Amino acid sequence: MCDEEMTAGFLNTSAENVYDEKSAFSQTEHNIVAAYLITAGVVSLSSNIVVLLMFVKFRELRTATNAIIINLAFTDIGVAGIGYPMSAASDLHGSWKFGYMGCQIYAALNIFFGMASIGLLTVVAIDRYLTICRPDVGQKLSALSYTLLIVAAWLNAVFWSAMPIIGWAGYAPDPTGATCTINWRNNDASFVSYTMTVIIVNFIIPLSVMFYCYYNVSVTVKRFKVSNCLDNIDMDWSDQMDVTKMSIIMIVMFLAAWSPYSIVCLWASFGDPKKIPAPMAIIAPLFAKSSTFYNPCIYVIANKKFRRAITGMLRCQTRQRMNISNQLPMTASSVPLNP
């Protein structure tokens, strides 16, 4: 009994010490990170709110495919509205400012929105594949089909973000002390099993699905171009290519954003966590959060309809003065969700 009490006391003391540890960064370095977070948060919130307002104003943009983009915008707003402010406040404070419960909530929400993003990007890839490569199947998909796929992405995110709170691995401050994440400094069997499962289920498998979908999309497009039959296909081909190009860029950027975080987790799983440099420990989650402000830029650069809609909205043009759509037949993924 005494041994059990001593062990429990030691674990509790260790858990508390994690929040009392001295940061690996100087206050100047913390202030630089805080300035970046504040700037990125303002840009991300404002740009993603503009994207949502665009869908509110232009009913013709509320298609099945764009419903996925709307959900992606909500994940970006979640990180920018919750993750950035808490991390920036802690950086200005010089250490984690919100205690144990705040750490659990912060880390869980960041993992939740991150997992939801990659799930939704996988749904986008499946949509592109069915629309372009399997139109016979794609045209049979209803709004309910897309809703179920989107809900599945959110539920998957709920499951994996909740597991560390329940006891599979755990959340704790990183060595900088200004942000909370998976407790990769405690690389026990629980952490290793959780990390490897998450990387397989939420990184390798989704990326494999995306690669398969977009590889087949590229093959199909090349085949149609060689046979010169694009004009005979019953779909707005230019619009579909815009959406596909935008989706591919988003996935490439998402991969670039989350790869450093995956490397840190793998390093912690199979190496010595104490040897992970502090700059890398802070850069990895910052990279992971970066998708929140570059996604709106991708929408504008890679999609002509979005570009015309956002430009017109910022210029306060009325819907009657704008023409962001065309009169070509629409595929299932282009049919408006709302009458």
The pLDDT, as a whole number, for residue 231 is 52
Q: What is the pLDDT of residues 261-309, one digit of tens each?
A: 778 777 877 777 777 777 777 777 777 777 777 777 777 676 777 777 7
Tokens 């988003």: give the residue: 250
Query: For residue 15, is it within any domain?
Result: no
What residue type is assigned to position 197 of the chain?
Answer: T
Neighbours of 315 (CB within 10 A): 9
Decide if 11 is inside a domain. Answer: no
CA dihedral sign, ordered 316, 79, 81, 168: positive
Answer yes or no: pTM beyond 0.85: no
Owning domain of residue 203: 24-333
User: Does residue 6 belong to any structural domain of this protein?
Assistant: no
Phi and psi, residue 282, nearest 5°: -90, -30
Residue 316's region, left for phi above 0, alpha for psi from -120 to 50, else beta, is left
Considering the domain boundaries, does residue 8 fall inside one?
no
46 lies in some domain: yes
Question: For residue 278, what is the domain's CATH number?
Answer: 1.20.1070.10
Number of domains present in the structure of the chain: 1
For the chain, which residues score pLDDT lower than 50? 1-16, 234, 320-322, 326-332, 335-336, 338-339
The span from the CA of 313 to the CA of 58, in Å, is: 9
Long-range contacts of 69-74, Cβ-Cβ distance < 8 Å, separation of 24 or more: 69/124, 69/299, 71/116, 71/120, 71/150, 71/153, 71/154, 72/117, 72/120, 72/121, 72/250, 72/295, 73/48, 73/295, 73/296
3-class SS at 178? Answer: coil
Domain-located, residue 5: no
**Residue 17: inside a domain:** no
Query: Residue 124's pLDDT is what?
Result: 87
Give a yes or no: residue 2 inside a domain.
Answer: no
DSSP 176: T
